Amino acid sequence: MVRDFTAIGTAVNLASAFEFAARGGKRVLVDNATFQAAQDVVEEYEGPTPFEIIKAGKPITGKYRHFHLKRLKADWPVRVFVSHSHRDREFVETAITGPLAKHGIETWYSNSDIIPGEKYIQRIEDGLLKCDWVVVLVTENSVRTSDWVRVEAHTALSDPRFHDRVVPLKKGSAMPAQISHELGELDALDLSLVPDAGQALYEFLSKRETELRMVAKSPS
C-alpha cells in the first residue's frame, strides 16, 4: 500500500508566505519565534514588520510579525590561551575565563589544563596549538614573579600563527614591555579603563577577529 503524506497548518502556510515574500533583495525572512531563538547570532536586521498570510487573494485569519535578516555575526574566536601568574588565578577565573565561557569561548590556562608531573613547556606548546588567540595578563605579579609568563609570551610571539593575535591585558601599573620588548610594541587592552574586563575582552577579540578575516578575504 502506498501512502502520500502532506504537512498542513499555520507553520506551513507561514513558511510558504515567507518564501513568496522573499523577493526584491529580501533573502531571509523569519517569524518572531525564530528571531527570538536566533538573535544572538544576528548582526543586522529589519523589523519587526506586520505580516499577513495571503491565500487565494484573501488574508488568512491571524496577524504575524516578521524580521528581515541581513547579516549574521562573524564566527568568534574558538579558544583563547590565557598567560598569567598563578597569583592572579582568582582574577583570571572570575573576570576572564568565566565571562568568556558565557559567550561560548573556550580558554586554555595552566591552572586547569596542566596535570601535575607533565612536562610544562610541552603542555604549553600543545595548548597553543589548540588556540586561536593568546592574551597575556600583565600585572605586578606576572612582571616580578612569573618567568613562565615570559616563556609563554615569547613562545606565542615566535609562532607565525599568532601574528596579530597576541593581546596584552594591562592590570595595574605594570607595563607589557616589562615582560618583553616585543609584547610592549603591541596594543594593550587597559582593564582599568573598562567596567567589565570579560565583556571588554570579548568585544575586543570579536572586533579584531572580524577585521582580520576581512583582510584575509580582500584581494592582495
Q: pLDDT tens across 180-199, in order?
A: 999 999 999 999 999 999 99
Global pTM value: 0.65
Query: What digits encode the pLDDT tens for the residues 45-88?
Result: 888 888 777 665 565 656 778 888 887 766 666 799 999 998 99
Contact 74, 209 (CB under 8 A): yes
Which has the higher per-residue pLDDT, 5 or 139?
139
Are 19 and 103 part of one and the same domain?
A: no
Torsion over CA: 155, 157, 158, 160 (sign): positive
Domain identity same for 42 and 84: no
Considering the domain architecture, whether residues 95 and 203 belong to the same structural domain is answered as: yes
With beta carbons less than 8 A apart as the criterion, state whether 42 and 70 touch: no
Looking at the predicted structure, is the pLDDT value of residue 200 above 80? yes
Q: Which residue has the higher pLDDT, 21 or 169?
A: 169
HEC readout, 57-111 = CEEEEEEEEEEEEEEECCCCCCEEEEECCHHHHHHHHHHHHHHHHHCCCEEECHH
Which among 48, 72, 96 is the end of a domain?
72
Both 62 and 117 in one domain: the answer is no
Its domain, for residue 23, covers: 10-72
Domain end marker among 72, 91, 118: 72
